[in-house]
């Protein structure tokens, strides 16, 4: 038996003004996108923004439905839209943030498990790491790759 370990490193910022300019720009788009969230059930307004290698920035928000499972998280709305409009363009980065009553949450809102799985497959498909910016009003974290969010990814289907 071998005990093994995985180390995840990330950058943490205590002010969004300290973020690299491109990360700040993407996070600002995600912050703006929280205003388009349709979340009458959870009242949790999530915004996401994706930067593509062709310079496109796509923004999205969570969209809920009275038949609860029919809703979709902001991250998957953004990624699926990006992949459907630009299937051959690499996804470089995704920013996500959330607001309650119009106020951006202090702490990072991490992508849920299902979004991580979709992000992981997008990363594999593009063949490059996707930078993940998880923004809060007081704390923002930046992870270099989806692998840091989902180390033991399911990717075992027969080829």
**Catalytic residue annotation:** 75
Residue 151: Cβ within 10 Å count: 11
Choice between 19 and 95, CB closer to ligand THU: 95
Helix, strand, coil tally for the chain in percent (to 5): 30, 25, 45
- Among 27, 29, 33, 46, which residue interacts with ligand THU (rule: CB under 6 A)? 46
Distance CA 74, CA 46 (A): 6
Distance CA 119, CA 111 (A): 9
Site for ligand THU in 68-127 (CB under 6 A): 71, 73-75, 96, 109, 111-112, 115
Residue 76: Cβ within 10 Å count: 20
Q: Which stretch binds ligand THU (CB under 6 A): 12-20, 25-33, 41-49, 136-144?
A: 41-49
Residue with tokens 């990814």: 153
Note whether 42 binds ligand THU by CB under 6 A: yes
Binding site for ligand THU (CB under 6 A): 39, 42, 44, 46, 62, 64, 71, 73-75, 96, 109, 111-112, 115
């Amino acid at each position: 038996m071998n005990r093994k370990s995985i180390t995840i490193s990330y950058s943490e910022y205590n002010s969004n003004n300290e973020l690299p300019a491109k990360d700040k720009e993407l996070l600002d788009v995600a912050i703006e996108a929280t205003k388009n969230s349709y979340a009458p059930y959870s009242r949790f307004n999530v915004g996401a923004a994706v930067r593509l290698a062709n310079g496109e920035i796509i923004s999205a928000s969570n969209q809920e439905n009275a038949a609860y499972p029919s809703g979709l998280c902001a991250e998957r709305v953004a990624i699926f839209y990006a992949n459907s409009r630009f299937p051959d363009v690499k996804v470089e980065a995704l920013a996500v943030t959330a607001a309650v009553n119009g106020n951006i949450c202090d702490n990072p809102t991490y992508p849920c498990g299902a979004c991580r799985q979709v992000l992981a497959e997008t990363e594999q498909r593009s063949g490059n790491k996707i930078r993940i910016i998880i923004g809060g009003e007081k704390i923002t974290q930046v992870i270099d790759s989806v692998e840091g969010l989902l180390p033991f990814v399911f990717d075992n289907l027969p080829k």
